[in-house]
Structure 1
Amino acid sequence: MTQKLENIKACVFDAYGTLFDVATSARSYSEEIGQQWLDFSAMWRKKQVEYTWLRSLMGEFRDFWHVTGDALDFTMETYNMYNPALRAKLMEMYLKLSLYPEVKNVLQKIKGRGIKTVLLSNGSRSMLTSAVRHAQIEHLLDGVYSVDEVEVFKIHPAVYQLAVDKLGIETENIAFQSANSWDVAGASAAGLQAVWINRFGQKREKLGFEPKCEIRSLMQLPDLIVE
């Protein structure tokens, strides 16, 4: 039986892959990329995440826009298709990623219960501002927190502590939602009530910290929160 989330005063959401579909950019230019666009998109995302971890370990922070561009360059070179015009279009589309279809409804339900809703993301301030405005969800969020403020990426504990400090709410009263299993492990290690949105039926990371709840869609989240 799925556990419930108790005494929740704030729901903190990851952005990329959780609220926003990171495949939007490559999908939008799939004809130019070719039949391999889905694999191309997956590699771009994989390198993007890897570079955040590596830069955190190196102590060499560059914002997520820079990291995303580096990951795209690696991917385009790997596919032997480097094209400055296409690169520019793919990067621009990353500022206008599509929401998963259930997101607005879920945010409305949670806010309607008097629970704060915020984003906590690796994204740079400008990237997040653009994505939130394009998706027209500003009114559904009480805050947008970027790792730019701590200059280290997830899953460093300082990132999750940023949300705790900004909200002024105890860790045990915060639910953290992410579609990334490694992100959920980081939040769980930081003491948050972590929820894994396992849309694609993936296996859990072996990091020693489990989600409190695992669901297949954000639509299931409101029913997990008990008064």
Structure 2
Amino acid sequence: MALPASKPISVYVFDAYGTLFDVHAAVRKNAAGLGPDAQRLSELWRQKQLEYSWIRTMMDRYLDFWTLTEQALDTAFAMVPTADRSLRNTLLDAYSQLDCYPEVPQVLKTLKDNGARLAILSNGNPDMLDGAVRAAGLDMVFDAVLSVDTLRIYKTRMEVYEMATNQFRVYPEAISFQSSNRWDVAGATAFGFRTVWINRTGNPDEYTDLAPAAVLSDLNGLTTLA
């Protein structure tokens, strides 16, 4: 599915967690020790992490994303009492250096070789993002790594997406924004980005009035979009 003809895309901006980096990798690596409900723990961890970011933004009571990640894990453990809580620090250490998805390095290299500028725009705080990017060997790829920590608010506030247009001094429609989170794609679409939903798990569309320009099952198709 080609992007609609308009201004040429000069910048590709990526969400980090769930789009470039596998948010469930930390639990998956420790699943045997966590027990039979490890997957449930991972799902709740992610769910609460995002929920806390939205609630904090609505209340204007910012806490950095690493703190929310810790709080969310503690809640997940409380909700999954069968999981071995002694692995808490092991899981947090693994989360600080999450695996990237297999196709990510080559896709980013291809885009870069084709002259595109690349950036991350993430809820993650700078230390989290630096650790993940370095662990994946992507520290020489991005022209910018933008964190909401600068603004002390979270997506989907429009000011967050404006960080990318300010950074690269382009109009929103010149930016292709990629995220695996449909709510993030909706926010970026509302802002004016050309958006690509990386629907890795085949989820149904929840925001039909804020449709992405394209839907992909992973990042591999991105290099073929016009």
Same fold (TM over 0.5): yes
For residues 42-61 of structure 1, the C-alpha deviation after alignment (integer angstroms, 9 at most, x for no partner) is 11101111111100111110
Match of residue 58 from structure 2: 57
Report how far residue 90 of structure 1 moved.
Answer: 0.8
Tell me which residue corresponds to 1:149.
150
Q: Is 1:68 the equivalent of 2:69?
A: yes
Contact 1:5 1:175 in 2 (8 A): no
| Cα distance in 1, alignment partners of residues 83 and 106 from structure 2 | 39
Deviates more, 1:164-173 or 1:178-187: 164-173
In the alignment of these two chains, the number of paired residues is 224
Check whether the contact 2:49–2:69 (CA below 8 A) recurs between aligned residues: yes
User: What TM-score, normalized to structure 1?
Assistant: 0.95
Listed as ranges, the matches of 1:25-174 within 5 Å are 25-80=26-81, 85-174=86-175
Q: Which runs of 5+ in 2 are unaligned?
A: none
Q: How big is each residue's C-alpha offset from its partner over 1:93-134, in whole Å with a ceiling of 9 and x where there is no partner?
A: 111100100000000010111110100000000000011011
In structure 1, the residue matched to 2:185 is 184
Distance 1:81 1:88, change over 3 A: farther
- Superposed displacement of residue 5, structure 1: 5.6
TM-score w.r.t. length of structure 2: 0.95
What SS does the corresponding residue of 1:140 show, helix, strand or coil?
coil
Aligned residue in 2 for 1:15: 16
Specify the SS of the correspondent of 1:132. helix
Q: CA deviation at 1:41?
A: 0.4
Aligned to 1:4: 3
Structure 1: distance between partners of 2:122 and 2:207 = 22
Which residue of structure 2 lines up, in the alignment, with residue 219 of structure 1?
Answer: 220
Letter in 2 for 1:136: G
Distance 1:85 1:218 in 2: 35
Alpha-carbon RMSD: 1.3
2:33–2:84 Cα contact (<8 Å) kept: no
Q: Per-residue deviation at 1:79?
A: 1.3
Which stretch shifts more, 95-104 or 23-32? 23-32
C-alpha contact (below 8 Å) 2:38/2:83 kept by paired residues: no
C-alpha contact (below 8 Å) 2:198/2:216 kept by paired residues: yes
- Aligned residue type for 2:33: E
Q: Confirm or deny: 8 A CA contact 2:97 2:132 kept in the other structure.
A: yes
Most deviating of 76-85 and 165-174: 76-85
Deviation at 1:32, TM superposition (A): 1.7
Q: Secondary structure at the match of 2:140?
A: helix
SS at 2:196 equivalent: strand
Q: Which residue of 2 aligns with 1:200?
A: 201
Retained in 2: the 8 A contact 1:73–1:82?
A: no
C-alpha separation in 1, matches of 2:24 and 2:116: 30
- Give the aligned residue type for 1:32: G
Deviation at 1:71, TM superposition (A): 0.4
> How far apart in 2 are the matches of 1:166 and 1:73?
36
